[in-house]
Every structure is written in structure tokens, then in C-alpha cells.
Amino acid sequence: MKPTVRLRRNTDRRTSAPTLLTAGLCLSLALATGCAKSEDDPSDAKDTGKAAADAGQEVAEPSGDQKTCDLTAFGGKKLDLKGATVGFSQSEKEANPFRIAETASIKAEAKERGIKLLTANAQSQFSKQISDVQDLIAKGADVLVIAPLNSDGWGPVLRTAAQKKIPIVTIDRKINAEPCKDYVSFIGSDFVEQGRRAADRMIEATGGKGEVAILLGAPGNNVTTERTKGFKDRIAEKAPDLKVVFEQTGEFAREKGQQVTEQLIQSKPDITGIYAENDEMGLGAVNALKGAGKKAGDVRIVTIDGTRGAVQGIVDGWIHGVVESNPRFGPLAFETLDAFTKGEKVGQDIVIKDTEYTEDNAESEIGKAY
């Protein structure tokens, strides 16, 4: 009988050893955070939630002659936003400053207004976002704020919402659907305009002469295309002597931005300026320039977004200008929904005002950066 017992124990051990091991692994990794001690970081001692208190958003232009939408056109009922439930569907996980600030701003505004807020995060999976929105509707959301991951593919969900006459506001990215029928308004930045303003900064920094490189965003992304278009159009229009000689993707990531810039300064050592389509790639470019022994100001860098790190880069002299892409949609989104549910007219396309950080205001305004 002995061998039988031994064998049993044997098989038991086979299954339990790894189980224990896995459990141990999870435990140790969980403990890892318990006794962690990270580098002291004074500049990180900010609270993104509070950041919503400053700035907020302003509408860029009066929406006078623009298309508007109201309850009669949309076909819903009046509603007091105070007692309503708002559903918020975020597209990407809050892992970058923009998303963090965006979600924080929505949450802060809801809290301030005392409105019940349901949130969901699609973790960059479009199918999850669709089911998130369906869940929010099922859980009884009266109005929806959506930060869409994609522009297309919203048909079925929008139909469900339309049947229930649920007003939808999309923020930061537009949905390809009929405004005032499938959704109420879109609130967001004009990415083409951001590109134009970046071009203005670049022209100013270079005096309108020389060669510039573009660090493109992720390929196939509308933000990339629009920021590129605005920049190139404005350069062609205002500074024909400024030539775009290099366009490579940095995929909106710092590491890629650094790698591409390293290649760039090897092959084109005399480059005058670098236009990075987001701050992260711009900071990667700064790393690359530092590594190659360049000095602050040797190569003019203009970026878009307005994160704290980039604005600090202006203060340090490495970056010439940052065009802001404002993530604080909370106040404006709730304001729009409030007005709409009261029966007032609201714009279909609400373009928010993006500020700029330059050498003149960077130091004083850095507190506003997210």
C-alpha cells in the first residue's frame, strides 16, 4: 500500500506546488507595493483632482451662427440635472496625464454639482466601450458623457439611447453620426487649429527659416492626421522657407520619440526645429538631444498637450512652446447638459479654447498644466 500513498502524495504535490507558488508570487508582488518607497518627487506632489479647480474650459468662439440643438429638435423631455444620473464612459485607462485629468475633471464637476455619476473605462477596447455604454444605460443613466475610443461603429448603441431619448455629449473625439439626432453635442479641441498654432510657434522660434522635423503620432489616428495637416498648411502659407524634411512616427510615446530623434540628429545634424505631436515625444526628443551633447535651444522644439513635464521643459529652456490640448471637460460638459435639459439651445460643435505656454508665461502658468 505504501507506494499508492506515495503516488497520491506525489500527484498532490504536483498540483499544489505550483498553486502555492502562484499564490506566493501574487502575495509577494502585492507586498512589493506595501513596503515600496519611491524617489522623493516634489514636482509630483500635485493633485490632479484639484487641478480641475483652476482653468476649467472656455468656449473658443461664441456659438452664435453655429448649428445648435435643443430639446424640441432632439425630442426629449425636460429634466433637472441635479437629480439625474450621469453616465461617463472613458475610452483609455487613466495611464496618461490627459486621461487622468479628463476623468478627474468630470468626477470633480459631478461632485461639486452633487450629481450622481456612474463611470466606466473601456481599457482601449472598443467592444468593451460599447458594452460599457449599454451597461450605463441599463443602470439607469439619464444622460451620457462619452469619450469615444473610435469615431465609427456606434450605430447600435446610439439607437438604444435614442429610443430612450438619452442626451449624449461626446468629449475630445467626435462620433460619426448625426448631431442633434443621434447625440446632442461634441465638445472638443480643434486639432487642426492646434497644429496651426504649433506652426506659428515654430515660425516664431526659427524666424521662418531652416529645416524642421515632425514626430508624428500613432499612425492612422485622426489626432495625428489633423495635427499634421494644420502644421503643414500653416508653414506652407506663412513661412515657405521653413522646410519639413523629416516625418517619422514616435507613436505618442517618449521612448519612441527619443529613438527616432536619435536617428534624426545622426543623419541631419543641422536640423533647426522639431515639432512633436504630443508632449511625451517632445520630452523623448529632449532626452535624445541631451544624449547627443546638444545644448538647450540648439534645436527648437514645439509640442502639443500642455502636460506639466513639457511646460517645465519650457522653463528649463529645452522646449520653445507648448500648445495646450485642454482635458478639463467637466465644467463645460455639465454646463452644456444642464442648459440642454432645461430646454435651452446648445451648440452642436463646441470647440474649447486651448491656451499656449511660451517662454513668457511658462513659469507663472505651470500650475495650470496637468
Query: Whole-angstrom Cα distance, residue 353 to residue 273?
Result: 26
Cβ atoms 77, 71 nearer than 8 A = yes
Candidate list 15, 72, 163, 364; residue touching another protein; CB under 8 A: 15
As to burial, measured by CB atoms within 10 angstroms (0-12 exposed, 13-18 middle, 19+ buried), residue 192 is: middle
325 closest CA partner among 340, 311, 345: 311
Query: Whole-angstrom Cα distance, residue 206 to residue 210?
Result: 7
Cβ atoms 248, 218 nearer than 8 A = no
Q: For residue 294, how far is the Cα from the chain centroid?
A: 30
Candidate list 9, 12, 14, 50; residue touching another protein; CB under 8 A: 14
Comparing CB distances to another protein, the nearer of 137 and 310 is 310
Comparing CB distances to another protein, the nearer of 19 and 176 is 19
Rule CB under 8 A: say whether 45 interacts with another protein: no
Supply the minimum distance, in Å, between the C-beta of residue 22 and another protein. 6
Supply the minimum distance, in Å, between the C-beta of residue 3 and another protein. 6
Q: For residue 155, how far is the Cα from the chain centroid?
A: 24
Rule CB under 8 A: say whether 97 interacts with another protein: yes
Rule CB under 8 A: say whether 78 interacts with another protein: no
CA R_g for the chain: 25
Cβ count near 3 (within 10 Å): 8
258 closest CA partner among 302, 292, 298: 292
Rule CB under 8 A: say whether 150 interacts with another protein: no
Supply the minimum distance, in Å, between the C-beta of residue 326 and another protein. 18
Rule CB under 8 A: say whether 33 interacts with another protein: yes
Rule CB under 8 A: say whether 4 interacts with another protein: yes
Candidate list 258, 278, 303, 336; residue touching another protein; CB under 8 A: 258
Question: Binding marks (x or -) toward another protein, 286..325, rule CB under 8 A?
Answer: -x--xxx----------------x----------------
Q: Count of alpha carbons within 13 Å of 285, Cβ hemisphere only?
A: 36
Residues within the interface to another protein (CB under 8 A)? 1-4, 6-7, 10, 14-15, 17-18, 21-22, 25, 28-29, 32-33, 36-41, 44, 93-97, 100, 216, 219, 245-249, 251, 253-256, 258-260, 262-264, 266-269, 280, 283-284, 287, 290-292, 309
